Homo-oligomer: A and B are copies of this chain.
């Protein structure tokens, strides 16, 4: 079968809890998809075997394995250049895992691996808000923290050894909140799900002011957003503070990178105006004057559920088949 008849790719999104995999065609339509708990496989060799078997079963039931061109994988702390998951702090597999090579050897297909931020950004370029752009930044705000990816001249900006884009771990408050990376004051401890919840806790402790926040069973972005909708001043102040900090972090990022646009994605921004308004105001206040009102601050239009596997599949189209012979 010639390469041209290989009209589909596999997109795999490895999350801390769930791994989702999908068959995607040239038009970017998800033909079939399935998922399983990542946590079922504390040993990465067993994980790879199970994932490969499942992909083959899904492919055979949907046009045959021989129609699959390549595989794109999104994973936390993945290095696109080395093809390895490197010291992922919140995954069960420790150290450096050569996941792309392991998958390639087992499936006989070319495999590309990138971190979730890189895949999300590629998805925005191929299917989303960054369509037609060459120089942009995508910021993912959600459960895992704050991820980011820079695109420059149409390609991901990876840095000297593939570690670029860690804006979530830039220090916004010297000696501030303790981060999962072991340091203090990282942006993602303020602008993420857990950062939002922490800000809410701090505000509740600062005063005895009554607030709907005090009755919430869990301080999720959605729940705090609903309190804002009902006019709760303290809930709105939570988003104001988080937006102000996020705006400073993004303004610093933009002043250094000079992108055409910054696209915000993830659960935190999908709660809407309560975060976006204060973020945009703080961003314009803090960005370098020569690029003020010129960098477009945008919200992703992609569906939260489809975004991750689509981004991973976008990676698969680009992988070179000669990588099979390396």
Which A residues contact B (CB, under 8 angstroms)?
A: 86-87, 134-135, 150, 152, 157-167, 169-171, 174, 181-183, 244, 248, 251-253, 255-260, 285-286, 288-291, 294
Contact of A159 among B169, B171, B257 (CB under 8 A): B257
Residues of chain B within 8 A (CB-CB) of A248 are 171, 174
Interface contacts beyond A134-B160, A160-B259, A183-B289: sample of 13 additional A-B pairs, CB < 8 Å, sorted by A: A86-B290, A135-B159, A150-B256, A159-B259, A160-B260, A161-B258, A163-B290, A164-B256, A166-B258, A167-B256, A170-B252, A170-B255, A253-B256
Inter-chain contact B258/A256, CB cutoff 8 Å = no
- Describe A's contact surface by its main secondary structure: loop
From A164, which residue of chain B is reached at the shortest CB distance? B258
Known contacts: A171-B251, A171-B252. The answer to whether A286 contacts B163 by CB under 8 A is: no
Contact of A255 among B158, B166, B255 (CB under 8 A): B166
Residues of chain B within 8 A (CB-CB) of A288 are 163, 166, 169, 181
| A289-B181 Cα distance, complex, nearest whole Å | 7
From A290, which residue of chain B is reached at the shortest CB distance? B163
Residues of chain B within 8 A (CB-CB) of A165 are 256, 258
Inter-chain contact B257/A256, CB cutoff 8 Å = yes
23 A–B contacts from the bound complex (CB under 8 Å): A135-B159, A152-B152, A157-B157, A159-B257, A159-B258, A159-B259, A160-B259, A160-B260, A161-B258, A161-B294, A164-B256, A165-B256, A166-B255, A166-B288, A167-B256, A169-B255, A170-B251, A171-B248, A171-B286, A174-B248, A183-B286, A183-B289, A256-B256
Q: Could you tell me the distance in whole angstroms from the C-beta of A295 to the nearest C-beta in chain B? A: 8
Indicate the member of A160, A252, A259, A294 with the most B CB atoms within 10 Å. A160
Inter-chain contact A158/B256, CB cutoff 8 Å = no
Residues of chain B within 8 A (CB-CB) of A150 are 256
Inter-chain contact A166/B135, CB cutoff 8 Å = no
Residues of chain B within 8 A (CB-CB) of A162 are 258
Q: Could you tell me the distance in whole angstroms from the C-beta of A115 to the nearest C-beta in chain B? A: 11
| A259-B159 Cα distance, complex, nearest whole Å | 6
| A291-B181 Cα distance, complex, nearest whole Å | 12
Give 3 nearest A-B pairs by CB, closest first. A159-B258, A170-B252, A164-B258
Residues of chain B within 8 A (CB-CB) of A152 are 152, 157
Residues of chain B within 8 A (CB-CB) of A255 are 166-167, 169-170
| A174-B134 Cα distance, complex, nearest whole Å | 31
Residues of chain B within 8 A (CB-CB) of A166 are 255-256, 258, 288, 290
Q: Could you tell me the distance in whole angstroms from the C-beta of A204 to the nearest C-beta in chain B? A: 22
Q: Could you tell me the distance in whole angstroms from the C-beta of A39 to the nearest C-beta in chain B? A: 24
Residues of chain B within 8 A (CB-CB) of A169 are 255, 288
Q: Could you tell me the distance in whole angstroms from the C-beta of A73 to the nearest C-beta in chain B? A: 19
Residues of chain B within 8 A (CB-CB) of A286 are 171, 183
Q: Could you tell me the distance in whole angstroms from the C-beta of A212 to the nearest C-beta in chain B? A: 28
Indicate the member of A167, A252, A256, A291 with the most B CB atoms within 10 Å. A256
| A181-B258 Cα distance, complex, nearest whole Å | 17
Residues of chain B within 8 A (CB-CB) of A285 are 183
